Amino acid sequence: MDVFDELLRGVRGKGAVFGRSVLWPPWSLRFADGAYLTLCVPMRGAGWIVPETGEPRHVALGEAAIVRGPAPFSFTDDPANATTAGVREVHWGEDAPGLTDRGGELGGSTVLLAAAYDVREQVPQRLLRALPPVLVVPDEQDCSPLRDYLEAQIGGGRPGHQTVLDRLLDWLLVCTLRDWFDRPEAEPPGWYGALGDEVAGPALRAIHEDPAHPWTTAELASRAGVSRTTLAKRFTDLVGNGPAAYLTEWRMTLAADLLTRPELTVAAVARRVGYADAFGFSAAFKRLRGESPSTYRQEAATARVPDRAVPAG
């Protein structure tokens, strides 16, 4: 299994589209709903992302930006307008108030397409922690037809148009993240580089294909066709810890998300991540996470009321 695929499997936009309204300078939009990821794509024109802390980042036509939350940020025509009296609050699922298209004339305007992702689960949080607060990726492929199609779908009345938009934006998010990690300024996590390694890669994929299997370093080494010592050294050099430690850490990450499902007992969660009894699982979970599975479950349930009240991870 591709680790990148697995980390993004549950990341989905949920009706979180802002778009068809046309922005005329001076303008400034404030995104303050606490989304953990926000994708911003100028369909026409350009703008500036102004985070709560850090330097503004320019986003031109043909570029895509991702903002890591949940801190608020602004998207504006000029950083000087980010805190002016005319700032408009954006609430997901709604068009920004007071923005008009001036009879359909688009000259000198900006059309912004954005999607919010409320990423609470611990699995994709591993990916989020590797991202900078704001990243901007040039469109190195000719995606003009896709952008035209996306813009045409905004405000459309055909059945299922919102789902179409969400899925297209999900696709754009994944492509943007993948392109970012391939850029020289990115600092991808160790496992990302290890995926393509002929020694560590097969072992890493085996762990993710079946995390409940009682893997040993020797068995994982046989997957790569190398000795146990060779695998242990190469895996540690690339990933940051050995195969056994990585397996335990990944199991606990999966378990953290499973514990948020009230229909699963702690014993059931333990079995799903490769532990024969709840006692051994609880000891490992507390050692790595600093609290028992039961305590984590209670705190996770509390954190979801009200929505987005407490960041995960």
Residue-wise pLDDT tens digits, 48-107: 999 988 899 999 988 899 998 888 999 998 888 877 756 777 765 555 443 444 444 445
Its pTM stands at 0.77
List helix spans (H) across the chain.
3-8, 122-128, 144-153, 161-181, 190-194, 200-209, 217-224, 228-239, 243-258, 266-272, 278-289, 293-303
Render pLDDT for 183-237 as a digit per residue (tens, 0 to 9).
888 888 888 888 889 999 999 999 999 999 999 999 999 999 999 999 999 999 9
Query: What is the C-alpha separation between 90 and 14, in angstroms, rounded?
Result: 15
* Calpha distance 189→125 (Å, rounded): 12
Helix (H, G, I), strand (E, B) or coil at 90: strand
Query: Is residue 270 classed as helix, strand or coil in its secondary structure?
Result: helix
Fold identical between 3-181 and 192-303? Answer: no
- Give the pLDDT confidence of 44-63 residue by residue, as tens digits: 888 999 998 889 999 998 88
Please say if the pLDDT value at position 35 is more than 50: yes
Contact between residue 130 and residue 7 where contact means Cβ atoms under 8 Å apart: no
Distance, CA of 13 to CA of 34 (rounded, Å): 14
Q: Which CATH number fits domain 192-303: 1.10.357.10, 3.30.70.3270, 3.40.50.40, 1.10.10.60?
A: 1.10.10.60
In the predicted model, is pLDDT for residue 312 greater than 70? no
Per-residue pLDDT of 111-142, as tens digits, reads 788 888 877 788 878 878 888 999 999 876 55
**Pairwise CA distance, residues 117 & 124, whole Å:** 11
Topology of the domain covering 3-181: Jelly Rolls (2.60.120)
- Angstrom distance (rounded) from CA 239 to CA 233: 10
Show me where the domains of the chain are located.
Answer: 3-181, 192-303
18 pLDDT above the threshold of 60: no
What does the block give as tokens for 239? 């990933």
